[in-house]
Each structure stands twice: as structure tokens, then as C-alpha cells.
């Protein structure tokens, strides 16, 4: 019975991404009636769950910290494609879309995913334990990338408003890509042990001690299906985005809130994967996902947007406003205090989740 159930689950995780992509192809660029939108939304949720499954298969095969990088980079590449596509299709309303989406991704990962992971880990063991050396380095990289790309444009004087000049944008893009590349080299090479799960005494433990790794063929199939599922997630999210925009307008919410909703949808696979890892007492893997996703979101998105800005019309607004700057600064300070001890309880997790709630509330009611 267990084998049959496992087979059915596997068949489901294979079929849903393919079906979601087929529906995406059939509905792309069309005005959809309500029942079709419901079907697309259900397939979107199924594709998210399938992406988590296949990401975990790949992560189990390649081991940590490589497994965490797979999902973070894959989701971010698709996120970049979505941002560029929306900016091309509606330049008048999307001059700040990159900023809104990247900032939302940073707040969701550094407060939502991180806070949820710490809360689940602490509930399981009373105290969530992780490696402060690797996590602290990741956090420092995220803060630096966010400051270079999202804070400085509000204070430079080469262009009016919160935007970089072409030279400044080029520097920010190159610096972001270089810093992200350096972090990946450190995480996967010289200091790989800093990003592996640890026990209560700080000793490195195997992320998957008891489970047999999948075969190379199974991992490659899951990698392909992971990419298919992520394409379906972002594509179906874009398909229903007119409905989301209409709902946002009907609720009298700021147009920037669309970026928050898109970021929430795109980051669902990472959120679920991080929650599962935390429930298995692998909080370090969860933090790798959270901070790695924030880092990739900036380090890959800003260079891509810099290249796309060559043919995009209108200004590219990257600088954060006053409320956003306060939230980013509060997140940075709180995250530093959380990470330095290498141990956290439910209070730290709750604080970060409250910060996420404050971000979402203020995005809806600035």
C-alpha cells in the first residue's frame, strides 16, 4: 500500500507541471472567464507543490549547500523573466516594478521565510540551532546588495528622483553579480561546512542521514520537472495577473501591491521547502534558502534589469521610499541580532513574522 501511494504521489508531481504548462500555452494572452481563472489558480497551486517535491529530490541528490542553491537560483531566474516581461508589456505602470518586486522578495525571505523557519525549528526543539558564521556571511551579503541597489538610488544626485544614471546602474549591476558569485564560491567551496546543518553542540551533521539518495537519472528528471513547474508557476501567475490587478484596483490598493502579490506567489516553493526542512530540524537549510533567495533576487535581477533597460522606455525607479527604508533598516538590525548567537527561540521567529506583517500592511495602506 505504501508503494502504491508513493507511486500515485510521484505520478501526480509529474503530471501537474506538464498540465499546468499546457494550460498556460492555451490561455496565454487571452481574456479568461471566471471558471478558467479558477482552474489556472488551482494548477498554479499544484505546480508550487510539485516544484517543492522536485527541488527536494535534487537537493537530496547533490547534498547541501548545493541543493538550496538549485531552488533559489531557479526561482530567481524565472522571477527575472516575469519582471522583464511585465515591464515590456506595460512601461507606464511598471517603472518601479523591479524595485517593488525585489524589495518584496527581500522582506518575504528575510522576515517571512526566515521567521517561519526559526519558529518551526524552535517549536520542535525549543531552540533553533544554526551556524552563525555561514548565516552571518549570507546576511551581510544580502544587506550590502540591498543597500547598493535599493537604498543608494534615493540619495544619488546624477538623476532626479530615485533612479541611477547609466554609469551608476552599470556599477550596481556588476557589483551585485560579482558579490553574488563570490558568495556562491564560498558557500560551495572553501567554507562549505559553514552552510551545513549543525546539532545542538554546533557539530556539522548530514542533512539526509537516513534516506537513500535518488539515482542520477531520477535527480535529472526532477531537475527538468522543477524547471517546468517553475515556468508554470510564473506563467500562470502572469496569466491571472490581470485579475489580480483588477482586484487590487477594486480594493483601492496601490499598484505597487501587485509586486507584493507576485513575489508571494513566486516564493511559495521556497517557503514550503524551508518549512519542511525546519520541521525536520534542519534549520540551517531553511536559512540557506531564505537568505540565498534574497541574495539571488538582487544579485541576478539588478544585472538583468540593467541590460533590459537598454531597450525599455521610461525611467527605472530603484530607490526605496521613506517607509520602505525604515522597514529595511529594522529588518537588517533585527536579523543581525537574530543571527549572531547561532541560536533562536520562538520570540525571534515571531519578531520577524511581525515585520513581514507590517510590510504587507503598509504596502496595502502606505
pLDDT-derived band at 94 (thresholds 50, 70, 90) equals low
Mean pLDDT of the residues in the chain:
82
Taking the C-alpha atoms of residue 262 and residue 64, their distance in angstroms, rounded to an integer, is: 28
* 54 within 8 A of 226, measured Cβ to Cβ: yes
CB 79 within 8 A of CB 234: yes
pLDDT in tens, 288-300: 889 988 888 888 8
Contact 283/118 with Cβ under 8 angstroms?
A: yes
Supply the pLDDT for residue 229: 84
Q: What percent of the chain has pLDDT over 70?
A: 86
Q: How far apart are CA 282 and CA 273, in angstroms?
A: 11
Beta bridge partners of 128: 344
- For residue range 11-41, list pLDDT tens digits in order: 788 888 888 888 888 887 777 777 888 888 8
What pLDDT, on the 0 to 100 scale, is given for residue 85?
66
Q: Are 100 and 256 in contact (CB under 8 A)?
A: yes
Report residue 109's pLDDT band, with 50, 70 and 90 as the boundaries.
very high
- CB-based contact 233:47 (threshold 8 Å): yes
Rounded mean pLDDT, 228-256: 79
Q: What does the pLDDT read at residue 143?
A: 95
Which is more confidently placed, 353 or 74?
353
Q: How does residue 351 score in pLDDT terms, banded at 50, 70 and 90? A: very high
* pLDDT for 203: 66
Question: What pLDDT score was predicted for residue 211?
Answer: 57
Tens of pLDDT, residue by residue over 230-243, are 888 778 777 777 77
Residue-wise DSSP of 27-96 = HTTSPPPHHHHHHHHHHHHHHHHHHHHHHHHHHHHH-TTHHHHHHHHHHHHHHHHHHHHHHHH-TTT-TT
Check whether 250 has a pLDDT greater than 90.
Answer: no
DSSP state letters, 83-137: HHHHHHH-TTT-TTHHHHHHHHHHHIIIIIIHHHHHHHHHHHHSSEE--HHHHHH
Q: What is the pLDDT of residues 48-75, one digit of tens each?
A: 778 777 877 887 777 656 766 776 677 7
Mean local confidence (pLDDT), 149-155: 92
Is 269's pLDDT higher than 70?
yes
Amino acid at each position: 500500500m505504501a508503494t502504491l501511494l508513493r507511486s500515485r504521489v510521484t505520478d501526480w508531481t509529474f503530471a501537474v507541471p506538464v498540465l499546468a504548462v499546457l494550460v498556460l500555452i492555451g490561455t496565454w494572452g487571452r481574456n479568461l472567464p471566471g471558471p478558467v481563472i479558477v482552474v489556472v489558480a488551482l494548477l498554479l497551486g499544484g505546480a508550487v507543490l510539485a516544484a517543492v517535491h522536485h527541488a527536494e529530490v535534487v537537493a537530496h541528490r547533490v547534498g547541501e549547500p548545493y541543493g538550496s542553491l538549485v531552488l533559489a537560483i531557479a526561482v530567481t531566474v524565472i522571477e527575472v523573466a516575469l519582471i522583464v516581461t511585465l515591464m515590456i508589456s506595460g512601461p507606464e505602470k511598471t517603472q518601479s516594478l523591479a524595485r517593488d518586486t525585489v524589495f518584496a522578495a527581500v522582506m518575504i525571505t528575510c522576515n517571512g521565510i526566515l521567521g517561519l523557519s526559526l519558529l518551526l525549528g524552535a517549536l520542535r526543539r525549543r531552540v533553533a540551532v544554526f551556524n552563525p558564521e555561514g548565516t552571518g556571511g549570507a546576511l551581510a551579503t544580502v544587506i550590502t546588495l540591498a543597500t547598493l541597489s535599493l537604498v543608494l538610488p534615493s540619495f544619488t544626485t546624477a538623476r532626479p528622483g530615485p533612479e541611477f544614471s547609466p554609469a551608476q546602474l552599470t556599477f550596481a549591476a556588476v557589483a551585485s553579480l560579482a558579490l553574488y558569485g563570490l558568495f556562491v564560491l564560498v558557500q560551495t567551496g572553501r567554507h562549505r561546512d559553514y552552510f551545513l546543518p549543525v546539532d545542538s553542540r554546533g557539530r556539522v551533521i548530514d542533512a539526509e542521514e537516513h534516506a537513500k539518495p535518488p539515482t542520477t537519472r531520477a535527480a535529472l528528471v526532477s531537475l527538468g520537472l522543477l524547471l517546468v513547474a517553475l515556468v508554470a508557476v510564473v506563467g500562470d501567475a502572469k496569466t491571472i495577473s490581470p485579475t489580480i490587478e483588477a482586484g487590487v484596483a477594486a480594493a483601492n490598493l496601490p499598484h505597487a501591491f501587485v509586486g507584493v502579490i507576485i513575489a508571494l506567489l513566486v516564493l511559495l516553493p521556497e517557503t514550503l521547502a524551508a518549512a519542511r526542512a525546519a520541521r525536520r530540524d534542519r534549520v540551517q537549510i531553511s536559512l540557506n534558502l531564505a537568505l540565498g533567495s534574497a541574495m539571488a533576487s538582487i544579485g541576478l535581477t539588478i544585472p538583468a534589469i540593467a541590460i533590459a533597460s537598454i531597450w525599455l522606455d521610461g525611467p527605472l525607479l530603484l530607490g526605496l521610499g521613506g517607509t520602505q527604508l525604515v522597514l529595511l533598516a529594522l529588518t537588517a538590525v533585527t536579523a543581525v541580532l537574530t543571527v549572531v548567537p547561532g541560536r533562536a527561540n520562538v520570540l525571534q521567529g515571531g519578531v520577524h513574522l511581525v515585520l513581514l506583517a507590517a510590510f504587507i500592511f503598509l504596502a496595502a495602506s502606505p
